[in-house]
Amino acid sequence: MMLVQNRNKIMTDYRTSVLQLIEDCKNEPNMDKKIQMLYHINSILLKPDQLQILTKSSLLTNYYINTVLHKIEAAMR
């Protein structure tokens, strides 16, 4: 029972951390930093949850980043 409780707490903390990083990324005004934050968020997701993100930064618009963040956020809830 203790193992299940510990696992649930770890998953809750993980979700909370990812959701906070998403909020931080959404509020970041510097586009280069925002792109790096998006890559970081995606890299810490569990392997099956990771998204294929465009690698050409010139194609990464604010709209695209917010769409990806929304998808991650929806998966976390």
- How far is CA 47 from each of CA 42, 52, 73, rounded to the nearest angstrom? 9, 11, 16
Neighbours of 18 (CB within 10 A): 19
- The structural domain count of the chain equals 1
- What are 19-72's pLDDT values in tens digits? 999 999 999 999 999 999 999 999 999 898 899 987 777 788 999 999 999 999
The pLDDT, as a whole number, for residue 15 is 92
The pLDDT, as a whole number, for residue 39 is 94
The pLDDT, as a whole number, for residue 19 is 96
Q: Are 57 and 3 in contact (CB under 8 A)?
A: no
User: Which residue range forms the structural domain that includes residue 8?
Assistant: 2-76
pLDDT confidence band for 3 (50 / 70 / 90) = confident
